[in-house]
Every structure is written in C-alpha cells, then in structure tokens.
Amino acid sequence: MKSTFPPQLDDLKADLVRFEKSLESFSERLGLSLGDLESDHIAVRCHQNATAERWKQGFLQIGCQFSEAMINGRPICLFKLHQPIQVAGWQLDVIELPWPGEKRYRHEGWEHVEIVLRGEPETLGMRAMALLSDDALTQPGISFKTSSPKGENERLPNPTLAVTDGQTTIKFHPWRLEEIVASEAD
C-alpha cells in the first residue's frame, strides 16, 4: 500500500506484508500460479464493529463504496479504490469489508483473495479443484468449503469454493463482484 493511505488504515498497511508472504506460501503449497489467474478482490476480517467503521472511513478516503448488502446476516461493504494495491503480482482495486459475524477469525486484517473462474456456475468446484496439485488435496491443515452467498437482489448464481489453511484463504467464484452487484440493478 502507498504511504498516502489514511491513518485509519495503518494496521492494514502494516499487515499487507504478512498477508502477501502468507498468500504466496499458501499458493505454492496448493500448486497454484497466481499470476495465471484472474483476481477479483481482496478481503479483510475484523472482530469489532468499531474496527469495521474505522476501516470503512479509511477506505472511503481512497476509494468509493459501490455496494452495501446484508449477506449471511451482516453488512458487507465493497469499495473500488482510486489506485489499486499490489499483492502477489496482482493489481487489486476492489476491497470487501464485512462487519463481524458469529465466526471469530484468528487474525484481524487481510484474510482472503478471490479468483474468478469463468464458466458454468455448476462446475465451479470441479474446475477450481482441477487447478490444485494432487498434493494439495491430501495435505494436513488444508480445508475446503463450498457455499453460495447471496445478496437480496442478486440475479447471478454465485457459488464459492474456499480453500484455507486456517490463516489465509483463496476463494473461487464464476463472476467478479462488480458483475454480481450490477446484476442487482437489472
């Protein structure tokens, strides 16, 4: 992140180095070449509403909010940055900020990236698993979860495959978040 980030994001600025190293290490364990994949966005996690509010105020200074939706019982805000941040060779300009939910994460800060795998939503999991090395499927500490998060007015099916080591997560979707949000207005 650039040093021009507002003070509300100092903790996230400091945490980006840790997250990038963790993401690169995790993607190597999975046999994924991140540079060959279409990145969509990066997401943060926090434990307190006050932290979410502070981060929201910071993101509003460096981008614009293009969505706020209730998903799985909590607000999730999406921001389009004026200048993308560089993470693991990607230029990411969309940030997902969920308010705290019932699940408690080990770490407050950057938590996952999402990758777009274009194609039929019904085959997303199979296509995503095919990208992983055979070793990734049997390594201890790596888990897989499928879900279908949905905002109230979304018209595009949005299945997700999340792969995690408990600290860093890589998620796969068939659509970009901006496409999902645009589908709400149709």
- What pLDDT, in 10s, does the model give residues 14-65? 999 999 999 999 999 999 999 899 999 999 999 999 999 999 999 999 999 9
Q: How far is CA 103 from the centre of its chain?
A: 16
Q: How many CB atoms lie within 10 A of CB 31?
A: 13
How do beta strands 169-173 and 160-164 pair?
antiparallel
Q: In what order do the strands lie in the sheet with 160-164?
A: 63-71, 74-87, 90-98, 38-45, 109-116, 169-173, 160-164, 143-147
Q: Please state the rounded mean pLDDT for residues 70-97.
A: 93
- For the chain, what is the radius of gyration of the CA atoms? 16
pLDDT, mean of residues 86-105:
90
* pLDDT of 1 higher than 50: no
Q: Could you read off the pLDDT of 142-173 as tens digits, one per residue? A: 999 998 765 555 567 788 999 999 889 999 99
Percent of the chain with pLDDT over 70: 92
**Strands 90-98 vs 63-71: parallel, antiparallel or unpaired:** unpaired
pLDDT at 111 over 80: yes
Fold classification of 7-185 is: 2,3-Dihydroxybiphenyl 1,2-Dioxygenase; domain 1 (3.10.180)
Mean model confidence pLDDT for the chain: 90
Instruction: Tell me what pLDDT residue 184 has.
Output: 74
Q: For the residues of 108-159, what is the DSSP string, one character each?
A: SEEEEEEEE--S-GGGHHHHHHHHS-GGGGT-TT-EEEEE----TT--S---
* Residue 85: its H or E element: strand 74-87
The pTM of the full predicted model, rounded to 2 decimals, is 0.90
User: Distance between CA 168 and CA 91 in Å, rounded?
Assistant: 19
